[in-house]
């Protein structure tokens, strides 16, 4: 009888290989984590690349203002243009705030010893016909604050 039962058995065969689709649930978690990590990395790169461009643009504009000042030697115009530049920088970093010059300077360079000197130079003789400030000192002070190379 053992011979009869053994003859009815089939030979050993391999199971069908598992299909690659649908993926197991663990793979979906790994893919979602990789996608989230990629998006975070993309936003961080964009955010870090944005910050230097503001400084670079401010330094370029400072150079243009300096060229115009050297050509005309108009200290009053220099004060006005640098005043606008400082306020625009503060507004670009934090919109709808820092409308006056001292708070703009304090926001851009907090606890800096030269802030008061910069405020005094930018607001001295502001509404007189001819300003008596030292334009080169004002330019060098602002260049130093912005960390611009000459």
CA atoms of 40 and 92, how far apart (whole Å): 23
Residue 23 lies in a domain: no
pLDDT digits (tens, 9 = 90+) for 71-97: 999 888 999 999 999 999 988 888 877
Helix (H) or strand (E) holding 49: helix 25-72
Instruction: Decide if 114 is inside a domain.
Output: yes
| 8 Å CB contact between 120 and 54 | no
C-alpha torsion angle, residues 101, 110, 82, 129 (rounded to 10): 40
pTM, whole model, 2 decimals?
0.64
The whole domain housing 93 covers: 54-146
Count of structural domains within the chain: 1
Side-chain-side CA neighbours of residue 132 (13 Å): 2
Provide the Cα torsion 5, 10, 12, 14; round to 10°.
-150
In a domain, 3, yes or no: no
Q: Using 50, 70 and 90 to split pLDDT, how confident is the model at 150?
A: low
What is d(CA 133, CA 76) in angstroms, rounded to the nearest whole number?
8
pLDDT band at 61 (very low <50, low <70, confident <90, very high): very high
């Amino acid at each position: 009888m053992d011979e009869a039962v053994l003859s009815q058995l089939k030979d050993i065969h391999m199971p069908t290989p598992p299909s690659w689709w649908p993926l197991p649930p663990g793979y979906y978690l790994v893919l979602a984590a990789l996608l989230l990590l990629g998006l975070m990395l993309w936003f961080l790169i964009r955010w870090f690349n944005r910050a230097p461009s503001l400084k670079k643009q401010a330094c370029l504009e400072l150079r243009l203002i300096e060229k115009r000042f050297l050509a005309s030697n108009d200290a009053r115009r220099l004060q006005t243009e640098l005043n606008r530049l400082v306020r625009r920088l503060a507004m670009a970093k934090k919109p709808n705030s820092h409308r006056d010059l001292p708070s703009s300077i304090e926001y851009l360079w907090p606890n800096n010893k030269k802030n008061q000197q910069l405020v005094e130079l930018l607001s001295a003789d502001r509404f007189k016909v001819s300003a008596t400030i030292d334009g080169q000192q004002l330019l060098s002070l602002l260049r130093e604050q912005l960390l611009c190379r000459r």
